[in-house]
Amino acid sequence: MKKVLFLAALLLVCFSGVTNAQTRKQREDAKREAWKKERQEKKALEAQQDSVSFMKAIDALKNGSFVLEADNVVFRNGIMRFVSSNTNYVEVNDGQGIIQTAFTNFVYNWSPNGLGGVTVQGSVNGISMRQDKDGNIYYNYGINGIAVSATVSIVLTGGTNQASVTINPNFSGNTLTMNGYLVPYNESGVFQGTTW
């Protein structure tokens, strides 16, 4: 009799363990499916927001009124520095262009713009814009002013407002590349230093 009770208890424990394991697996599967669904919804929302940002960026380029706010700067020797996007930018508005760098993570005793870098301004000319088969936009122009004479080449990544700008001075080989986001001029929150 004790053996029968023992076997019955053992079967009951095993059965409840199997049932509990199945229930746990069902809960884990349900969590996994919910996470996948949430992730897909988030990706769809991000794609929609990127598409809207891309269209705004294209319109800003066509109107000649935009700001490329840089997250990082790459020097001609390949060294990259992360920078503040509200003080490192390339701007075009009403036929005038500004290029500004401000390296707050470097130690400078003096800088022309008071922000640890330079701010140059000039007239924009020779604008050209084209789109490749992948949807990337290539926007080029020249900028000429008292302290600047350069060719500026912007590449706007298709489907987003992520962009890269290469500034190639006409009288030196000090090429500079800035990577960040292109936004319409009226949506930008940049801070301009002293211009020369």
Q: What is the pLDDT of residues 93-114, one digit of tens each?
A: 999 999 998 887 655 556 777 7
Q: CB–CB of 131/137 below 8 Å?
A: yes
> Is the residue at 41 inside a domain?
no
- Strand, helix or coil for residue 115: coil
> Is the residue at 34 inside a domain?
no
Counted domains in the chain: 1
Q: Which domain holds residue 101?
A: 56-187
Q: Who's near 67: CB < 8 A, 6+ residues apart?
A: 89, 90, 91, 92, 182, 183, 184, 185, 188, 190
CATH of the domain at 68: 2.40.128.410
Q: 37-74: per-residue pLDDT in tens?
A: 888 888 888 878 878 888 999 999 999 999 999 999 99
Pairwise CA distance, residues 127 & 57, whole Å: 16
> Is the residue at 7 inside a domain?
no
pLDDT grade for 22, boundaries at 50, 70 and 90:
low
Pairwise CA distance, residues 151 & 118, whole Å: 17
> Is the residue at 16 inside a domain?
no
Pairwise CA distance, residues 156 & 68, whole Å: 10
> Is the residue at 194 inside a domain?
no
Question: Which structure tokens are listed for 96?
Answer: 């005038």
